[in-house]
Amino acid sequence: MINRDLRCKECNRPLPQLSGGHRKRLFCNDACKQRYYRYQRREQHEAERRTRWGKYLPATQQALEDVMQLHSVELAERVAAALSSEITARENELHQLQTRLAALQDVEERFHTDTEARHFKMWLRKRGVHPQGSFAQRFLDDTRLPTHASRALYEARLKHYGYSLEDIQVFQELWKALLIAQM
């Protein structure tokens, strides 16, 4: 007798059922039964792998599985922890670089709108030794220029004291560097 409602769990063919006290058949033959259980075992293994190593790429997941098979679960978990630390460090580094890039892209806007008095001479001194006769050295040696002031005040004083347009441009580039350094 064939009950049309019952089908093989593997191939979906109708299953003939034996009458009497026999339990209902789930598969049409042993080959279907074996394929079904192998597939279930593979799926379960993949689900466990995704749970254990899910945040990694498939190639990394496989490498961790290989380490686990060849050595131990503990070693695979140590490798995974090291990978996670590395990923976190690289993500933090990337975030810092993206923040810095955004700030650099914004420096021109900040330069034109900056009205804050800054300790420019102190910052310039901290940058190191400047060659004799360079703009930076002449700026530091000029006692008429204050130790801290706004960009506009410095530019006005530089013009008033007869500094060249080239010197003023160098000052502006240095001021931008100061803004970048203070981010």
Instruction: For residue 33, give the DSSP letter.
Output: H
Give dist(CA 2, CA 14) in Å, integer: 7
Q: Are residues 159 and 148 in the same domain?
A: yes
Q: Are residues 23 and 61 in the same domain?
A: no
Q: Are residues 176 and 127 in the same domain?
A: yes
Q: Are residues 152 and 167 in the same domain?
A: yes
Q: Are residues 101 and 123 in the same domain?
A: no
Last residue of a domain, one of 105, 125, 146: 105
Give dist(CA 82, CA 89) in Å, integer: 11
CA dist 97 to 88, 91, 103, 158, Å? 14, 10, 10, 35
Mean pLDDT over 19-32 rounds to 85
Q: Are residues 124 and 87 in the same domain?
A: no
Reported pTM? 0.48
Give dist(CA 171, CA 141) in Å, integer: 14
| pLDDT at residue 46 tops 70 | yes
Give dist(CA 114, CA 150) in Å, integer: 8
Can you give the residue range of the structural domain that contains 32? 1-53
Number of other CB atoms surrounding residue 72 within 10 Å: 11
Give dist(CA 81, CA 67) in Å, integer: 13
Q: Are residues 49 and 59 in the same domain?
A: no
**50-100 tens-digit pLDDT:** 778 888 888 998 899 899 889 998 999 999 989 999 999 999 999 999 988
Q: Give me the number of domains the chain comprises.
A: 3
What is the pLDDT at residue 102?
83
**107-146 tens-digit pLDDT:** 888 898 999 999 999 999 999 888 999 999 999 999 999 9
Average pLDDT over the chain, rounded to an integer:
89
